Amino acid sequence: MPKLTRVHARQILDSRGNPTIEVDAWSDQGLCGRAAVPSGASTGSREALELRDGDKKCFQGKGVLKAVSNVNEVLGPYITEEKKFQVNDQVGLDRAMIDLDGTEYKSKLGANALLGISLAVARLGAQTSKLPLYKYLREVLKCPHPTEKYVMPTPLMNIINGGAHASNNLDIQEFMIVPCMAKSFAENLRAGVEVFHSLKKVLDKAGHSTNVGDEGGFAPNLKSHEEAIESVLKAIELAGYRPGVDVALSLDCAASEFYQEKTQLYSMQGKDFTTEEMIEYYSGFLKKYPIYSIEDGLAEGDQKGWTALNSRLGSQVVLVGDDLFVTNKKILAHGIEMKQANAILVKVNQIGTLTETFETMDLAFRNKMVNIVSHRSGETSDHFIADLAVATSAGHIKTGSASRSDRMEKYNQLLRIEEELGQAAVYHPVRVGRK
Ligand code: PGA
Ligand code: ZN
């Protein structure tokens, strides 16, 4: 089995023009795997640390040269010393890096440094095994997967951007569509793209801006969240689809962003809401609109609120923990014990290695939670998560709207995978109708 002989990191730029880290990993046969690390804007407070230089004179403090040097000078020499790792020893490699860092949130060497290596080595492993990445993750690395066969994910497409991803007045960060009526990923994607184009017409007609936000969705100034939802519903119909049957809705409220720890109130749309009132607000939405899932409906600090939310609405809607669980197995285990949610958002850079991502997903699958593999708002052309979603039969991928290459790369990779698999099944969300 080929050995890992060299890793090399460099600073590149992400979709927001911020520095991020890219890593090349080499085997003794001269093969190379490459991966780039994404970056969030509305981050959970317990995410693994994204190491940034903080030198205000250089990229306004956002440089990642320390993380680059931690790969090139510290982690790299350590993991390639005496060629001690076979390229497919992902667990051994990830554990060694975690141990070398030695901190709970990877704050010594940086989760961006560790993740760049972890993903690049997985790509190198796929190359040396002569397998596409999704097959390598499943067949060689034995990633968790709740279904025997490969299942193509159903996309959650963020077509109206608000919150930290846009400079408009919407507090809810993401208004998503879930095209789910078709028997192939390609057809579902086509429906999503058609709704996106119809939404442009709907917004244009109403005199709103159709400039796009960080994740490629429109970022209009609308008078309310209701207006955003109703615009999306109109767009679904204009595109010839039935809301709630062919195409459902999802929200990511990213509520930690508008929660005041001090007063324990949520400041939303010019008003203050208690936790109870937030739950009531969502309950009202569920009565009016075909909503499939609500992500981060409450803040990560509102721990008991989540249990109340889940007990009240968990049987009607998929409740997704993003900032709440931060892809962390320990935190998820606590959430499961507290009955806080029935779904998890999976972001590789929240935890910082592929092995730990698998462990968290495995725990979620074993507890029958819905898994949504997700991008970050700051992305690159790297489409690792497309392969990850298929390898794990996660069911969903959340990777933005139908514009901006950083988002489309993931969808295009899924088109390639589906073509290669032939007749793969497609995940069908529960509680959403099908033609
Ligand atoms: P982020 O947003 O990447 O800015 O954290 C994505 C999300 O909240 O799901
Ligand atoms: Zn989120």
- Give the phi and the psi of residue 318 in degrees, each rounded to 5: -80, 120
Domain ranges of the chain: 4-130, 151-426
Residue nearest to atom 1 of ligand 1 (CA): 40
- Tokens 């979709």 -> residue: 15
Distance CA 154, CA 145 (A): 16
**Ion ligand 2: residue ranges with CB closer than 5 A:** 252, 295, 322
Give distance in angstroms: CA of 127 to centre of ligand 2. 32
Architecture of the domain whose range is 151-426: Alpha-Beta Barrel (3.20)
Q: Is the CB of 347 under 6 A from ligand 1?
A: no
Per residue of the chain (435 residues), give pLDDT as tens.
899 999 999 999 999 999 999 999 999 999 999 999 999 999 999 999 999 999 999 999 999 999 999 999 999 999 999 999 999 999 999 999 999 999 999 999 999 999 999 999 999 999 999 999 999 999 999 999 999 999 999 999 999 999 988 888 999 999 999 999 999 999 999 999 999 999 999 999 999 999 999 999 999 999 999 999 999 999 999 999 999 999 999 999 999 999 999 999 999 999 999 999 999 999 999 999 999 999 999 999 999 999 999 999 999 999 999 999 999 999 999 999 999 999 999 999 999 999 999 999 999 999 999 999 999 999 999 999 999 999 999 999 999 999 999 999 999 999 999 999 998 999 999 877 554
Is the CB of residue 16 below 6 angstroms from any atom belonging to ligand 1?
A: no
Which ligand 1 atom is at minimum distance from the Cα of 323? Answer: 8
pTM, two decimal places? 0.98
Distances 230 to 201, 222, 277, 315 between C-alpha atoms, Å:
14, 11, 22, 24
Q: Is the fold of 4-130 the same as that of 151-426?
A: no
CATH topology of domain 4-130: Enolase-like; domain 1 (3.30.390)
Q: Which residue has the tokens 């195409």?
A: 247
- The DSSP element (H or E) to which 193 belongs, if any, is helix 185-205
State the number of CA atoms in the 13 A half-sphere of 395 facing the CB: 20
DSSP code for 218: B
Cα–Cα distances in angstroms (integers) from residue 74 to residues 97, 116, 186, 330, 354, in the given order:
10, 14, 43, 27, 20
Q: And the tokens for 158?
A: 């963020």
Q: Measured from the CB, is residue 76 less than 6 Å from ligand 1?
A: no
Best residue for ligand 1 mutational test, from 156, 172, 173, 325 (most atoms within 8 Å of Cβ): 173
Residues marked as catalytic: 215, 347
Nearest atom (ligand 1) to Cα of 374? 9
Beta strand extents in 50-203 (DSSP E only)? 151-152, 154-161, 174-179
Which H helix or E strand runs over 363?
helix 354-366
Q: Relative to the CA of 295, which ligand 1 atom is closest? A: 9
Ligand nearest to the CA of 165: 1
Distance 164 CA to ligand 2 centre (A): 11
